[in-house]
């Protein structure tokens, strides 16, 4: 599938909204209550349990597990993977333009972090990730450069805007050896620096349907 700068409803690769007949992978409320009651029962009897019983109590339901199972949506997860691929494509396309580099190295861990943040920041939105408008920026020495914009669903009025501010990797050995990954052309004898992105970034969330303050997270 060839990715484009926006995800339209005509793209057959996009996950469609699950119908009521499709099996749901979310936890039912009855099962959630059973797990919660089981967890509370284990906590109340903890004083009378032996150390062996305590070791077997690893199956109790934590708050993180509860939230993960309650909000798990396979459709959103598949859509998130598509959006992350689009982000990588936009960054690659900006390599010779606003980023002014001969090579762009995007760590896989960075893409994983971005995917996690997309899911985290869209779970409370009325339209989920489809309501996102994503701005891509890279913070360079010359200032913050815009590397593209993605409307996840161009047929839907965006409900929130995410600005991803990526930054170069300035730690470790890379700044010392990046000169080995430069290119020289007859038209431009000066070395063009290769760019490796850091796995850390800043994300700014702004809700477009309310006047709440901006949410800024360092990831």
- With cut-offs at 50, 70 and 90, classify the pLDDT of residue 107: very high
For the chain, the straight-line distance linking the first and the last C-alpha, in angstroms and rounded, comes to 30
pLDDT at 212: 76
Lowest average pLDDT, out of 62-66, 155-159, 197-201, goes to 62-66
Return contacts of 205-208, CB within 8 angstroms, 24+ apart. 205/121, 205/160, 205/161, 205/162, 206/160, 206/161, 206/163, 207/159, 207/160, 208/133, 208/158, 208/159, 208/160, 208/161
Inform me whether the pLDDT recorded for 109 exceeds 60.
yes
Taking the CA atoms of residue 204, residue 160, residue 196 and residue 111 in that order, the dihedral angle to the nearest 10 degrees is: 120
Query: Looking at residues 164-170, what average pLDDT do you find?
Result: 92
- Cα–Cα distance between 98 and 96 in angstroms, integer? 7
- Cα–Cα distance between 54 and 19 in angstroms, integer? 42
One DSSP character per residue, 44-90 reads HTTTTS-HHHHHGGGGSPPHHHHHHHHS--HHHHHHHHHHHHHHHHH
- Cα–Cα distance between 12 and 101 in angstroms, integer? 34
Q: What is the pLDDT of residues 46-84, one digit of tens each?
A: 444 444 444 444 444 454 444 545 555 788 889 999 999
Contacts of residue 217, defined as CB under 8 A and 6 or more positions apart, other chains included, come to: 117, 202, 203, 205
Inform me whether the pLDDT recorded for 177 exceeds 80.
no
CA 64 to chain centre: 18
Q: What is the CA radius of gyration of the chain?
A: 22
- What pTM did the predictor assign? 0.63
Q: Which fold has domain 74-218?
A: Ribosomal Protein L22; Chain A (3.90.470)
Q: Where are the domains of the chain?
A: 27-72, 74-218
Tell me which of 216 and 58 has the higher pLDDT.
216
């Amino acid at each position: 599938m060839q990715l484009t700068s926006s995800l339209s409803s005509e793209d057959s690769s996009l996950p469609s909204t699950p119908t009521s007949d499709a099996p749901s992978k979310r936890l039912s409320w009855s099962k959630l209550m059973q797990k919660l009651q089981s967890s509370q029962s284990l906590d109340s009897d903890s004083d009378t349990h032996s150390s062996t019983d305590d070791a077997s109590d690893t199956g109790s339901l934590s708050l993180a597990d509860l939230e993960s199972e309650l909000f798990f949506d396979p459709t959103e997860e598949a859509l998130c993977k598509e959006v992350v691929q689009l982000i990588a494509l936009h960054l690659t396309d900006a390599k010779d333009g606003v980023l002014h580099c001969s090579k762009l190295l995007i760590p896989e861990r960075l893409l994983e972090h971005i995917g996690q943040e997309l899911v985290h920041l869209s779970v409370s939105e009325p339209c989920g990730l489809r309501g996102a408008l994503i701005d891509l920026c890279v913070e360079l020495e010359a200032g913050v450069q815009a590397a593209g914009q993605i409307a996840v669903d161009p047929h839907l009025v965006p409900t929130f805007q995410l600005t991803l501010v990526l930054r170069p990797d300035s730690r470790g050995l890379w700044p010392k050896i990046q000169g080995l990954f430069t290119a020289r052309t007859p038209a431009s004898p000066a070395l063009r620096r290769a760019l490796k992105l850091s796995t850390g970034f800043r994300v700014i969330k702004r809700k477009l349907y309310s006047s709440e303050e901006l949410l800024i997270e360092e990831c």
